[in-house]
Amino acid sequence: MKQKMNIRILALVGITFLVGAFRILQTTGHTPMSNFTPIGAMALFGGAYFLQNSRAYLFPLLTLFMSDIVLMQTVYDGYGNGFLYEGWLWTYVAFGLMVFLGRNIIKKVNVKNVLLGGFLAGLTHFIIVDFGVWLGGGLDVTTGLPYTRDAAGLLKCYTLAIPFFKNMLAGNLIYGAILFGGYELAQLRFPVLRPAGL
């Protein structure tokens, strides 16, 4: 029983870290496909499959952190202030909530729950992270000036972030289908990957 649990945990940790590595390999800077990554789906996946709360949050957030450090020292060198980027706290709060969504919405893995989780995770990221951009004095790319500190500035920040929201949503849904579908099929083929008692 313990060996079965260890193999399952190792498989889940391995998948989580592979997603982080894939994020690093596919990121090429600010492009029209920015935010189209598997990292949001990975947060949902970790939330849904790790049985212990500590692991459900630890491994996805650790993977995000490690991949952020690598990207900030390579692809985004010059954009940050040390190891991470400005506003990183907002991103990590959003990802913590995405893990929470995975734990609470995808208790039973099926198409409806994965789609709902993917959509809500994208929306959560959009609302929290872009609020942080606005609150932190982020620059309006159309003017080169910080967003105004009023409802119009916040609305403009959200409006300009819609393409990134669409990419995040697409990444959550496509990579979510791959991660959840792949792991469900793997559990059928390799019963040792199922939770104990199933």
Q: CA–CA separation, 166 vs 149, rounded Å?
A: 25
Q: How far apart are the first and last CA of the chain?
A: 11
Give the containing element (helix H, strand E) for 69.
helix 53-73
| Residues recorded for the chain | 198
- Which two tokens mark 94? 């959003």
Q: CA–CA separation, 193 vs 106, rounded Å?
A: 17
Q: Is residue 80 part of a domain?
A: yes
Q: Is residue 158 part of a domain?
A: yes
Q: pLDDT band at residue 4, thresholds of 50, 70 and 90?
A: low
Q: Is 85:68 a contact under the CB 8 Å cutoff? A: yes
Give the pLDDT confidence score for residue 191 in this predicted structure: 92
Per-residue pLDDT, averaged over 182-198, amounts to: 87
Model pLDDT for residues 91-104, shown as the tens digit of each residue: 999 999 999 999 99
Inter-helix orientation angle 111-135/88-105, to 10°: 160
Amino acid, single-letter form, for residue 8:
R
Domain of residue 101, CATH code: 1.10.1760
Range of the domain at 187: 2-27+35-192
Name the least confident of 4-8, 35-39, 131-135.
Answer: 4-8
Give the pLDDT confidence score for residue 11 in this predicted structure: 93
Q: Is residue 164 part of a domain?
A: yes
Q: Is residue 46 part of a domain?
A: yes
Give the pLDDT confidence score for residue 28 in this predicted structure: 72
Q: Is residue 175 part of a domain?
A: yes
Q: Is residue 197 part of a domain?
A: no
Q: Is residue 96 part of a domain?
A: yes
Give the chain's domain count. Answer: 1
- Which two tokens mark 49? 């499959």
Q: Is 19:179 a contact under the CB 8 Å cutoff? A: yes
Q: Is residue 198 part of a domain?
A: no
